[in-house]
Structure 1
Amino acid sequence: MARRPTILDVARHAGVSKSTVSLVLQKSPQIRPETAEVVRRAIEATGYVYNRAAANLRSSSTGLIGLIINDLRNPFFTEFAASFQTALFARGFATVISDSGEDAGRQDRIVQSMIEHGVAAMVISPAYGDTDTSFARIERAGIPTLQVLRQVFADTGTVPFSSFDYAEGSAQAARHLIQTGSRRIAFVGGLEGRPITAERMRGYVEETARAGMTPLTLFGRPSRLSGAELAGRLLDDHPDVDAAICFNDLTALGMMTEFTRRDIRPGRDFRLVGFDAIEESAQVWPPLSSVACDIGRFATDTAAALLSWLDGGTPPAPVRRQPVDLIVRASSAPRHD
């Protein structure tokens, strides 16, 4: 990772003293507007990032780790954030958590703010969109950063990536449904064109093709509301479909709501499998089969890898994937007619 630009680099570029740059950064009225403008242009040209916390503590000793999550309303990501924070706290670090709300522009502003406030490192479950500016800031700042659960930055040598073996998860779900007698299986949920959707679908597509089935995909937001709407479309437009694998558990839980409204019981009338194995998947009735991603262990491993990087200066492997396992429950269990 390239050396972080310093205040001296800015001063040289602007042709002024270090103290002048410092006064501009502090918005001092002692500096003439035209001089301040020259310094601001030099800051932009060099990529220097003002660290507000550096006046008292250097970033490597603040004990603060930044965590940016794309959607904290999703319990899968919430559990990751809670477990990650707990693992860091045990090692004497505090976590600054922020939700980008699936907004790349908002994510960039959060990255800028975290760098300015002197976090020692960052972990990002990134939003989709134009994220080049965010990762360019991180590269210039030289802050150890991991991207998790979604990969949007290609250079994993600089920003390593870790996630789950999602493709194997949908393959396991598809094989299970085929073995239990399903004749037509749909994949429901996930936004079309998103890499994470393609990744979670891949095993399903391969296994259904191997079984001579024609894949059917209904795209939509990974939410309960969308799941209910997609269930209605599926039942009305594709009555031959007798099983589905969902992009996530929220989609599956939404489908179950529509099934209940129509007096269709998962496991008896329709086989249904979710993804992520959030806590609620085991508590609904009938209990929902789901591809289990051990998010607690994943969060602990992520924290350990990041702290090892900070302690030893060596980044983790560029790409790491944690295995998944299908949990079979009543929503897709073999029927005993």
Structure 2
Amino acid sequence: MKRRPTIMDVAARAGVSKSTVSLVLQGSKQVRAETRDLVRQAMAELGYVYNRAAATLRGSSVGLVGLVINDLRNPFFTEFATTLQMALAAEGYATVISNSDEDPALQAKLVASMIEHGVNAVVISPAYGDGPATFDQLARAGIPVLQVLRQIDDRLDLFPFSSFDYATGSAEAARHLIAQGARRIAFVGGLEGRAITLERMSGYLAELDRAGLPALQVQGRATRAFGIEMADHLLADHPDCDAAICFNDLVALGLMAGFARAGRQPGRDFRLVGFDDIEECAQVWPQLSSVSCDIADFARETAETLLTWMKEGRVPAPERRAPVHLVARASSLGETE
């Protein structure tokens, strides 16, 4: 007796995921017209018949969203993941959270697994590297996909991008340090050539150029360890450096530790500004000035955007930038007593 074709057979014939076929069968607006046509053609060729009653029983479970983060060890990304998961849970969606650990090959495998398990949508803060391995399979899946905090794929009609106005943030930090009397300001951290590094550095470079001050770029991994190492480097090779803006708060906290080891106190001997304003900035001594990115509010807005896309078929704008602002504390103001 000939085997009855299944939804997996349809997916294989059409070259899409199981979840995409399910969305077509449900009449979802999330799937592009050309993808729907491929699925329907495959169904006709195979003689597939949709059992709507059985599908209703299967569909009574909660919706599923995939979340892929490049570095969950960073508190900035952890806060984003936690808030997004809670916002989606409030609307009846479960979230599968994965850490790609800045590994594009692992990222591609994680995304493939999520698609195979039928996620309704994906939010991704991508690792740098082989983007097509990840995003081409997301395109074939035909589900809503948001790029957040980093843009790797330029197909913003398929993968809308949202992040923060990093250039404005570093410009505000530079103006603040100049107003505090700093004249040799370094930008510390961020890997060379990456878009996120260029964005976070661009406002700083523009403001120093406007003030007629020389730039000093010390690039590297955005970690505490790098910050500690760079404290020794600045003291030895750039003794005239009197201030720094760091790629993120982890680098700034490492720089603070390195200076403390050398007997130099931020705020009194050196003015310092971080980036992201994670919770620890207000808890260390001296308190760390930082460019604040309201990551919790950003996560809630991301959830709202995704839910609207999934439920109403309303595709978000290709790009969105959330505002930032400087939170000045003792490390740049000098009020350490």
Instruction: Give the TM interval when normalised to the shorter protein.
Output: 0.7 to 0.9
Query: Partners of 1:18 and 1:48 in 2: how far apart?
Result: 21
1:302 aligned residue: 302
TM-score when normalising by structure 1: 0.85
1:115 aligned residue: 115
2:162 aligned residue: 162
2:311 aligned residue: 311
Residues 61, 120 of structure 1: 8 Å contact kept: no
**Offset, 1:258:** 0.7
Query: Partners of 2:60 and 2:199 in 1: how far apart?
Result: 36
Residues 18, 118 of structure 2: 8 Å contact kept: no
Residues 20, 143 of structure 2: 8 Å contact kept: no
In structure 2, do the counterparts of structure 1 residues 61 and 147 end up closer, same or farther at CA, with 3 Å as the change threshold? farther
Residue 49 (str. 1) matches residue 20 (str. 2): no
**Offset, 1:214:** 1.2
Query: Partners of 2:166 and 2:192 in 1: how far apart?
Result: 16
In structure 2, do the counterparts of structure 1 residues 219 and 100 end up closer, same or farther at CA, with 3 Å as the change threshold? same
2:330 aligned residue: 330
Query: Partners of 2:259 and 2:178 in 1: how far apart?
Result: 21
Residues 188, 244 of structure 1: 8 Å contact kept: yes
Residues 188, 244 of structure 2: 8 Å contact kept: yes
Query: Partners of 2:310 and 2:303 in 1: how far apart?
Result: 11
Residues 104, 128 of structure 1: 8 Å contact kept: yes
1:187 aligned residue: 187
- Which residue identity is paired with 2:17? V
2:240 aligned residue: 240
In structure 2, do the counterparts of structure 1 residues 210 and 268 end up closer, same or farther at CA, with 3 Å as the change threshold? same
Query: Partners of 1:53 and 1:156 in 2: how far apart?
Result: 23
Residues 53-82 of structure 1: CA distance to partner in whole angstroms, max 9, x if unpaired? 969677897411110000000000000000
2:33 aligned residue: none
In structure 2, do the counterparts of structure 1 residues 119 and 18 end up closer, same or farther at CA, with 3 Å as the change threshold? farther
2:321 aligned residue: 321
Report % sequence identity.
60
**Offset, 1:151:** 0.4
In structure 2, do the counterparts of structure 1 residues 90 and 195 end up closer, same or farther at CA, with 3 Å as the change threshold? same
1:71 aligned residue: 71
Residues 169, 203 of structure 2: 8 Å contact kept: yes
Residues 267-296 of structure 1: CA distance to partner in whole angstroms, max 9, x if unpaired? 000000000000001100000000000000
Map 1:198-217 to 2 at 5 A.
Answer: 198-217=198-217
- Which residue identity is paired with 2:75? P
Query: The residue matched to 2:158 in structure 1 has which SS?
Result: coil
Residues 113-165 of structure 1: CA distance to partner in whole angstroms, max 9, x if unpaired? 00010111110000000111211111111010100000011011111000000
- Which residue identity is paired with 2:160? P
Residue 93 (str. 1) matches residue 93 (str. 2): yes
Query: The residue matched to 2:314 in structure 1 has which SS?
Result: coil
**Offset, 1:334:** 5.0
2:137 aligned residue: 137
Query: Partners of 1:314 and 1:177 in 2: how far apart?
Result: 43
In structure 2, do the counterparts of structure 1 residues 260 and 138 end up closer, same or farther at CA, with 3 Å as the change threshold? same
**Offset, 1:48:** 2.8
In structure 2, do the counterparts of structure 1 residues 148 and 231 end up closer, same or farther at CA, with 3 Å as the change threshold? same
- Which residue identity is paired with 1:269? D
Query: The residue matched to 2:97 in structure 1 has which SS?
Result: strand
Residues 277, 292 of structure 2: 8 Å contact kept: yes
Residues 188, 251 of structure 2: 8 Å contact kept: yes
Query: The residue matched to 1:332 in structure 2 has which SS?
Result: helix
Where structure 2 has 5 or more consecutive residues not aligned to the other structure, the ranges are 23-53
In structure 2, do the counterparts of structure 1 residues 52 and 123 end up closer, same or farther at CA, with 3 Å as the change threshold? closer
Query: Partners of 2:141 and 2:220 in 1: how far apart?
Result: 37
Query: Partners of 2:230 and 2:3 in 1: how far apart?
Result: 60
Query: Partners of 1:46 and 1:328 in 2: how far apart?
Result: 56
The runs of at least 4 aligned residues of structure 1 exceeding 2 Å deviation read 17-20, 45-62
In structure 2, do the counterparts of structure 1 residues 253 and 18 end up closer, same or farther at CA, with 3 Å as the change threshold? farther
1:280 aligned residue: 280
**Offset, 1:235:** 1.1
TM-score when normalising by structure 2: 0.85
- Which residue identity is paired with 1:47? G
Residues 62, 119 of structure 1: 8 Å contact kept: no
Query: Partners of 2:279 and 2:60 in 1: how far apart?
Result: 36
- Which residue identity is paired with 1:154? D
Query: Partners of 2:59 and 2:242 in 1: how far apart?
Result: 55
Query: Partners of 2:85 and 2:109 in 1: how far apart?
Result: 22
**Offset, 1:260:** 0.7
Query: Partners of 1:321 and 1:131 in 2: how far apart?
Result: 22
Residues 122, 146 of structure 1: 8 Å contact kept: yes
Query: The residue matched to 1:320 in structure 2 has which SS?
Result: strand
Map 1:139-154 to 2 at 5 A.
Answer: 139-154=139-154
